[in-house]
Amino acid sequence: MRESETIKQYSGRIMAIVNSIRLLGEYFSESRVVEKVITTLLDKFESKISSLKNSRDLSAISLFELINSLYALEQMRANGQEEHPEGAFQAKAKEGSGSNYKGKKPWLDKREKLRRDAVDSGCTHHIAADEKLFKDIDRSFTSKIRIGNGNPIEAKGRGNVVINTWSDSHGQELVTITLTDRCFMLDVNQLENKAYTSLIDNAGRWHKRLGHANYKSLDLLHKLNLVEDMSKVEVKNTVCEVCQLGKQARLLFPVNKAWRARDKLQLVHSNVCGPMKTPSLNDSKYFILFIDDLTRFCWVYFLKQKSEVFEAFSKFKALAENQTGCKIKALRSDNGTEFLSERF
């Protein structure tokens, strides 16, 4: 990594090289890319790499996670903020245990009034002190976490915390947490219950339920009370897309203008289909179809390769002409290369 490069510039240069190598057919695993990035970083990122090593297995970290962590550190330094390794985990530290806050009231005291069901979030890892918050916990998981004063603590499990809301809040902002003493504290019990107005188009609903009936008929059904529990339907001038597509009429084919064969084999249609994902019992992945224009009789021949098209046609020609006593006058295809060889 060059001194003048940012994390984004360096990761982009690395991935350009990796992609070039992969295009040449060389296998290049993501773990190998991660290892290469870690070993070629500048010294100013050494503290972040050490923090990551203490908190998780670097051989299992994804390139996306690594680059995001380094980018976040880079942005903090650019904004004049000193990095505080795993600052969010200071909530787990005990007062006076190797703390550098002698003579001052520890910032931890400010949290004493917070409930134990608060979720400490906004950092590389998210922690909670109360196991009752967890929907499920994997107690077999253990990990060392380095807190703000430099001491490691042990994580006693890993699981999912579910926040209940009164409505479907997918994609909606639930709460905004401010940064206080380099820590984000989320109290799930203080979340506001939000309800979003549901706009229901009753007219559109009944229009679809009753087979896309017109709105005037729906209004009449309601007035005559012919449908049970039917709400009042306001007549609208809106255009239903499904109705427009369903009522489109296709123009008729020109009458007496399409030429049709009057004799057997006067015109034969042919096309090749394949390759198929699943081969046949004899390992054929293609088939060629011949259709007589007059009788619509079909012949099908299975092919292992497209190069076998001419042999299939020769067999078909001999068989069909022998059975009908007629000669093939014209063969109509899509002008595929298999029909344009010198043998054809």
Residue 113's pLDDT is: 43
pLDDT higher than threshold 70 for residue 68:
yes
Extended strands (E) in the chain:
118-121, 127-128, 134-138, 143-146, 152-155, 158-161, 184-187, 268-273, 286-292, 298-303, 331-332
Residue with the larger pLDDT of the pair 171 and 221:
221
Residue 124's pLDDT is: 59
Q: Is 17 helix (H, G, I), strand (E, B) or coil?
A: helix
Residue 182's pLDDT is: 56
Query: Whole-angstrom Cα distance, residue 279 to residue 97?
Result: 70
Distances, alpha carbon 105 to alpha carbons 87, 99, 112, in Å:
17, 11, 12
Q: Does domain 268-339 have CATH number 3.30.420.40?
A: no
Could you give the residue range(s) of every CATH 3.30.420.10 domain in the chain? Answer: 268-339
pLDDT higher than threshold 50 for residue 84:
no
Residue 96's pLDDT is: 38
Reported as half-sphere exposure (CB side, CA atoms, 13 A), residue 342 has a value of 0
Query: Whole-angstrom Cα distance, residue 237 to residue 104?
Result: 72
Please check whether residue 338 is in contact with residue 313, taking contact to mean a CB–CB distance below 8 angstroms.
Answer: no
63-78 vs 7-23: helix axis angle to the nearest 10?
Answer: 160
Average pLDDT score over the chain: 76
Q: Give 23's DSSP letter.
A: H
Residue 290's pLDDT is: 96
Residue 15's pLDDT is: 85
pLDDT higher than threshold 50 for residue 143:
yes
- Average the pLDDT over each of 150-159, 190-199, 335-344 and give the range with the smallest value: 190-199
Distances, alpha carbon 87 to alpha carbons 51, 173, 178, 299, in Å:
11, 24, 14, 75
Mean pLDDT of 226-230: 81
pTM here?
0.30
pLDDT higher than threshold 80 for residue 202:
no
Residue 159's pLDDT is: 85
pLDDT higher than threshold 80 for residue 106:
no
pLDDT higher than threshold 60 for residue 45:
yes
pLDDT higher than threshold 80 for residue 81:
no
Residue 90's pLDDT is: 33
Please spell the DSSP secondary structure of 237-293, one letter per residue.
Answer: -PPPHHHHHHT--PPPPPTTTS---SSTTSSEEEEEE---SS--TT---EEEEEEET
- Residue pLDDT, tens place only, 301-316: 999 999 899 999 999 9
Reported confidence tier of residue 201, pLDDT bands at 50, 70, 90:
low
Query: Whole-angstrom Cα distance, residue 158 to residue 26?
Result: 37
- Residue pLDDT, tens place only, 115-126: 444 554 445 567
pLDDT higher than threshold 80 for residue 136:
yes
Overall residue count recorded for the chain in this entry: 344
Mean pLDDT of 73-102: 48
Residue 151's pLDDT is: 66
Mean pLDDT of 42-47: 82
Residue 329's pLDDT is: 95
